[in-house]
Chain A
């Protein structure tokens, strides 16, 4: 249980911090893409008999390294380039699963994750990645802020914006892989997106958005664990549902709803 609380704490912070980038860069599906890359890499490990974690890291970092340049050089919309990599990773995951002999239960477990059976090593890796994420946000805050606001403008004032974006993608890959075995490949997406999307509803300050998002990430993790413990249901699912409920409350109480209300109204008027 202690391990589970610690992983929920670390994973909650790391995922929710990465989520701020994902939301501000308008690239929500980067999370799904990299989670599937990690899944494919882990399956390759299971099939060929090496540590699935190594395979997961290799695949998600490789896809991070491809998504950015593919979007830049191929002059694709970033989400299109994410989609192309996502479908490739999904295909590879199925391919490796098909080639893998014997029962597939170990593979399916990766999809759901198991925060309660985390080993010390898993937590150490998660701790390192979380420290890296926080450290980089802290050190390069101003460059990150400028890059997520307008990349071309950041480049025009002399900020290495392309390098910043690629580092953000790498961090995303690393975070997803490190939290992968606890939260599970399918569910991690919501732990990245929901706390940040909730924080986005509540503040006009980017610093506060990082803090609120991390707070919501930990809150989702811990209350999810508590509910899972009380009702004896899978923890991944309760964490995700909790984070969605937090998001719903954030939308309801958002001070930005005036803007949204106005937009919805004008859309409705157009439809009429």
Chain B
């Protein structure tokens, strides 16, 4: 993996500035991620977390700065080829319950990018999809219409779609938001298992602060379009840091997240 990128980084963002209309979503963010790292990204809504993910898969437009992902220097034109190597799972989407597509077909969409235009999925592609569905535990629902699934099952399908893509980078944008606690825990465990098995470079945006320390190697704190902290989860995710991040008194943070330690204890 290190052969491709001279500085041995999967993702190398230098001083990225991104703006939407009048708002600046990222105001000079730099981040290096090594191959196989599992990075959690936390911060309040509007901090620029999702925007950070979109510049990694080439969907966001850079106003300023430099982004190198898997050896590609990101320009407005080359997003397509990069995206084929980057899996992206968003929050639970609202899906039309009558949409004429089943779980297996939705997972197959992950293969479409790498296949390219004018080529149809082969038997081999379907085998990859079936393996991905098995890995996420969706084999028994493979022929179900996608709109009939629960939120947790939809997210499993989305993860299977990413795996079918055989990506090198895995981006997760609050995949567990709006799921019940059991589905949340299951998806987290699945993501962790996939990371362990395939050593994918993973960026994981989440609000699930209690789950973070067990899942990530490293945590990035974001606020107002800037990275305000970067380090090991057990050091960084402290009551003091969270109270600063979310503008809340320490006592409130402590009350809501009793598992998180206070520095100096």
Interface residues of A (CB under 8 A from B): 24, 26, 139-140, 142-143, 145-146, 149-150, 152-160, 200, 203-206, 208-209, 256, 259
Contact = CB atoms under 8 A, between A and B. Distances in A.
A-B pairs with lowest CB-CB distance, top 5:
A158-B113, A158-B84, A157-B113, A158-B83, A156-B88
Nearest to A158: B113
B117 A156 contact: no
B145 interface: yes
Interface in B86-108: 86, 88, 90, 93, 95-102, 105-106
A130 to B, nearest CB: 22
Contacts of B114: 158
A128 B38 CA distance: 53
B126 interface: no
A157 B100 contact: no
A146 B100 contact: no
Contacts of A153: 88, 90, 93, 109, 161
18 contacts: A26-B96, A140-B117, A142-B112, A142-B115, A142-B121, A149-B109, A150-B95, A153-B88, A153-B93, A155-B83, A156-B57, A156-B86, A157-B113, A157-B161, A158-B80, A159-B112, A203-B100, A206-B101
Contacts of B120: 142
B181 interface: no
Interface string B72-90: 0000000011111010101
B30 to A, nearest CB: 24
Contacts of B98: 200, 204, 256, 259
A204 B145 contact: yes
Contact of B101 (A26, A149, A154): A149
Given A142-B121, A158-B83, A259 B97 contact: yes
B165 interface: yes
B117 A143 contact: yes
B80 to A, nearest CB: 5
Interface in B111-132: 112-115, 117-118, 120-121
Contacts of A209: 100
A156 B88 CA distance: 7
B81 A158 contact: yes
B36 interface: no
B101 A157 contact: no
Nearest to B81: A158
A205 B100 contact: yes
Contacts of B100: 24, 200, 203-206, 208-209
B165 A157 contact: yes
B48 interface: no
